[in-house]
Amino acid sequence: MPGGRRTCGPSARLPSTWLMTQAVRANPLVNLAPFAFAGVALFGIVLDEIDAPHDNAQGISILGAGAAVGILAAFASARWAATDDGAARSRRVAWDVVRLVLAFEMVRYGMAKIVGMQFYPQYWRLDLRPSEMTRMSLAWVFFGRTYGYPAIGGVIEVASGVLLCFRRTTLLGACVLATALTQVVLVNFFYDVNVKLFASVYLAMDLALIARDAPRLRAFFLPPSQHEPSGRRTRVLRTLLVALVLALPTAEILRDAVRYGVFHRGVLEGMWNVDGSDGLDGLLPETPGPWERIYFEKGDVGFVRVGKKRVPFRAAVVEPGHMLRLSNLGGRASSILDGTFVTEHDRVHFEGSREGQPFSIDMTRELPR
């Protein structure tokens, strides 16, 4: 009967579980992803309440179990949904779980930054040299040295969490949050912060929310053209303009990088502990005392550490001949050390003459190793 409900045909005789399985296989991202992420979100919010490192096999296993439970829920939902509308409602509920859990976590972490709890100062760390810190300690001291930067990051996280609480503003909140979470993930990995797992999971959940609304983003950034196609000359000029905008600053930075030796590390470049010296008495009358460290920076800049002071100098290094000249020590044009150096693994012996008198310096490399 035209327009009536179909009650015959091959599909009517097939088991509903088979139909559900085919539907999942037809579009696994749409049908499985929201439930899998919802399972991870619910398991994760419980696991994250335990104040312990989770970057381990146990943490991955627990979140994996959450994803498995979510996938089973997807099959159960598809099995028992009477209509396509019912299945769509189930998926919306799963996405609601994802966005609300993500909002909860972002408000929690954002408020910790706003009240100054996450990066509060630890004074024993402030008294360490950067070379003595772990990468995570260095990041924490850097972020905690000022209140404003982490507080603004906290405001962004809280604002994103608020936007995620409403379906109409979820896409906007997810896009804003993506920038903050990407930075967090990069810091966690490159500074070895021990919360990589959850930061990566939160970023994946956020990107999933964005991907769900990809057609809306595509329509916003690439609206259908209402005009005739541009002429060939216009397209060529536009392409050249874009090429110049991208190529010129890139070439400028690469040129400066080559000029300043960014891609080359000199044989003496780094931090050196002075093991012993002879013939340097009276060379730095304004800062008397034994030389403790020598720093050879990129270019011709260097510093000598005497006590708590760093005395600048100019360095001229001729690597093939192992010749070295330190001049303008402490801004005094007459202070010059001229000689040769010998390297052996992480040790250097530098000797020569100073106003006709011999001198020598023995150094051991501390950084970089």
pLDDT of residue 21: 46
pLDDT of residue 365: 94
pTM: 0.69
Q: Is the pLDDT of residue 221 over 90?
A: no
pLDDT of residue 226: 57
pLDDT of residue 8: 39
What tokens appear for 169 in the block? 């503003």
Q: Is the pLDDT of residue 20 over 60?
A: no
pLDDT of residue 257: 83
Find the range with the poorest average confidence among 8-17, 56-65, 263-272, 316-325.
8-17
Q: What is the pLDDT of residues 245-276, one digit of tens each?
A: 888 888 888 888 888 888 888 899 999 999 99
Q: What is the pLDDT of residues 312-362, one digit of tens each?
A: 999 999 988 899 999 999 888 888 999 999 999 899 999 998 888 899 999
- CATH number of the domain located at residue range(s) 270-367 in this protein: 2.40.128.20
Which residues of the chain form CATH 2.40.128.20? Answer: 270-367
pLDDT of residue 22: 46
pLDDT above 70 coverage of the chain, percent:
88
Q: Is the pLDDT of residue 120 over 50?
A: yes
More reliable by pLDDT, 25 or 301: 301
